[in-house]
Structure formats: structure tokens, C-alpha cells
Amino acid sequence: MKRQAGELSLQLKLRRIPKVATFLIAITILLSLVISVYSPPSFWYKLGEISEATPSLEESTIRRPKDPEWPESNDTTKSKEILGGDEPGSQKAAQETAAAGSTTSSSIPSPSSPAQIDHSYNRTNSQNPTGTTQENYCDLFSGEWVPNPEAPYYTNATCYRIQDHQNCLKYARPDTGFLKWRWKPDGCVLPIFDPNHFLELVRGKSIAFIGDSVARNHMQSLICLLSRVLDPLDVSTGNDENQHWVYKDYNFNISIFSAPYLVRSEKTDPNDVTRPFNLYLDEFDEDWTTKVEGYDYIVISAGQWFFRPTIFYENRTLIGCLACQLDNVAHLRMNFSYERAFRTAFRAINSLANFKGVTFLRTITPSHFEGGSWDKGGDCVRTMPYKRNEAVLEDYMVEMYEIQQRELRIAQEEGSKRGLKFRLLDATQPMLLRPDGHPSKYGHWPNEKMANDCVHWCLPGPIDTWNDFLQELIEREEARKSLV
């Protein structure tokens, strides 16, 4: 009897095995489906050690680093000064030098490069500023331009801070369609700049813009957008190009520090801005580095001036030049000085003992000259934005963009040692698509002999979107502080 009972028990157990196996298989399939839906692509790369695929032009026209967490003067009579003080032909020669040996490959930076840029603050809607979940993924800077019939939000009649060479409405630009667009990121909404909300956001705070005349262009856009509510008091002193404004009701300050090279520089001819500059690539520009320690936010940028003829020094020793006429001197490419200038500028910020603010790197924005260089009749006459797959960065601009990304990563890594934050305000992709946003010949009267301006941006115009970005990024930073 015991033997028969044992055999019966064994038979019952054997009958259960197929049911258990079926159940386990079903659970395995279900788990696989869940992982495939909710896991980022990087999960699969780690499992299979597969390198990340390079995006096609339809997906992106700019190379972006792999995400580590988720997955000048009011004088408009001299076009040379307006366009960065270049000598005739010098920018073209420098660009050719810069482009020599450059690559148009769209490969992603090597994993062996310094710590990747922290993009988590760009990956979330403002309701959840931590950027910790894939559900809230949003890259503010990947998207497209869409119609916005409500724009513009100010005019040259309501804002007195528009310089003539950006005052396209004053000089009777015939088309106004370039004003009627807004930037729409993929997967989320970028709020339009709200002056009342912004002033509350920055109450008791300060912002410093550091860079060239395009940085000034950005700052003037901000003042114009705020003019719908309040005009600032100009508290500038001295005769230099550094300017300061205060919104007393909000205890909010805005400053612009003119630093087209970011590092210490000097004219080779004190009376001629068109002559080559000496650049001391390892020395701080104390005109701004000694004055920004108390600011809450810094927006730093640089670009077109690095195409000019320049003479390079390190350790106070002549080491080379760009597009110069010097004999027995190493002729170096533009990216040599561009990389070192950003590294020194970020090192300066990281060295400020009492600086507790956030630094935004505003990336390079391309010019849109067609039919020739700026001094050879080139112009920008388009009246509509490009679609995202209709334009790509030129090779030397790709180099500049990648240098900025790389130096930002280095600064982030160094700054993290003392809690400093370096963030990305990536204007490159959006502005690449806006050949219609430049003044062209509508920054001066027809009888004035000046070059077409395809470097700066009309006010009002697409540059106003930079302050949509700035508002959103500052809001996220302030929201993060409230969570600490």
C-alpha cells in the first residue's frame, strides 16, 4: 500500500510540472515586455555592450554627447566693428584655416573623454525638476520652429534698448513673418517668456552676460521682453562697454561684461580694433573675472571673434598665431585658441572662492551668409526657418560646438568638487534653422555703405527664444533649491 501511495504521489507531482513550466514561461515573457517598454536604450547597450548608434540627419543635425543619466558699442557706422572687427577677408582666411583637416563625421564623443555633460536638468518638465525618470524626459534644445501668431511681444516702439544695427523694424524690413515663430521641443512644452513670472523668479538675484556683441544682443532681448512690465535703471559707470541695470522694485540686476575672447587680450594697435589682438590664453580676463563673484547666474558665450587674426601667448611667451603675417611663428588653427580660451574662462569661474551661482554656457550660433563672405557681398535673404533636416553645421562650426561641449564637461567635473553647477543653454540647433532672423541690410539706411549683417539677430526676432530657454532653466534651478 505504501508503495502504491508513493507512486500515486509521484504521478501527481509529474502532472504539475508542465503547469509550473508554463507559468514560469509566461512570467518571463511578461517581464521582457515590461523591460522593453520602460527601460531606456542604454539598458540594452549595457547588457549587450553595443555602442550607441549615430543619429541620422533626420533625427539630429548636431552631434550631442551621450547622456550619462538618462537612457560691442552703439556706433553702427563701421561694419567691421558690428561684425566682430574683422579685417576684409580675414574671417574667410581664418575659416579656411579652421576648416583644414576638420571632419564632418557624426560620431559621438568617445566614452574615454571627461565626465559627460549633466543633461538631467534638460530632461524634465518644470513640474518635476529632478530629472530622474524617463517619463519626464525632455531635451529643450531638440525640436522645430512652429507658427506663433501672437508674437512679437514687443516692438522697437516699446523697447528703447535696441541698437540700430539690430533694429530691423526701424529700417523697414518688408517681411514680418520671421517674427511669427516659436520653438517647440520634442516631447514637451517650452513656455513663452512671461515678464511678470520671470521678475518674481529672479527677485533679489543677479545675472551676468559675458561674451561678445551677440551676448549683448541676448541681454538686450531680455531687457526688451521685460519692458512689457518695467524698464530698468541704468547704473553703468565708466566709459567701457560693461553695462549694468537694476530693477529696483525686484532688487534684480543685469550686467553685460564685454569679453569677446574670454581671456586677457590686448590690441596690437590701441587705436584700431581691426588689427590683430594678442591673446594670453592661460590668463584670466580680470575685467570680468574680478567682478562676477557675487552673481547668481552667469551666461557665458564666445564665437565670431576667434576667426580674426590673433597672436597667441602662453606663460607670456609667443607660441603661434592665426591668419597673421609673422615669420618664424607657428601658424595654428582657430580651434587651438577657442579651446584654451574656454578652458581658462571656466577655470577662472571655478577659482572664485565665494562664487555660489550657476553658469550657463550658451553655445555657438552660426551665421548664414550666402553668395559670398561678409565682405564679398554675402547676404541672408531667406524669410522662413529651415526644417530640421534642411541644414547642417559646417565643419568648423561643428568643431567649435564640440569644443564647447568638451570644455563644459571638464568644468562640470572640476566644479562638482565644490558644488558649482555648469549648465548648457544650447542655442546652436534652434538658430541653425533661422537664416531668416538676421538684420541683413535692414540694420542701416540704404545710402550707408555697410556690410550685410548675418551674424547678429533682429530685435524682436528668434533670439527672444533664448530667454524662453533661460526662464525655463532658471525655474528648474530654483525648483531644485526648494527640494534640498
- Residues annotated as catalytic (active site), given as ranges: 213, 453, 456
Determine contact, residues 63/108, Cβ cutoff 8 Å: yes
3-state secondary structure of 423: strand
Phi then psi dihedrals of residue 32, to 5 deg: -60, -40
CA 481, CA 484: separation in Å to the nearest integer? 5
Q: Are 142 and 53 in contact (CB under 8 A)?
A: no
All three cell numbers of 421, joined, read 553647477
> Which residue do the cell numbers 561684425 mark?
83
- Inter-residue contact 253 to 269 (CB < 8 Å): no
* Distance of alpha carbon 395 from alpha carbon 380, whole angstroms: 20
| Beta-sheet pairing, 181-185 with 143-147 | antiparallel
Cα atoms found within 13 Å of the Cα of residue 106, Cβ hemisphere only: 16
- What CA–CA distance (Å, rounded) separates 182 from 6? 78
Write the DSSP string, 293-353: TT-SEEEE---GGGGS-EEEEETTEEEEEES---TTS-B--HHHHHHHHHHHHHHHHHH-T
Radius of gyration of the CA atoms of the chain, in A: 27
User: Which of 443, 438, 434 shows the shortest CA–CA distance to 455?
Assistant: 438
The burial of 106, by beta-carbon neighbours within 10 Å (0-12 exposed, 13-18 middle, 19 or more buried), is given as middle
Q: How far apart are CA 429 and CA 61, in angstroms?
A: 7
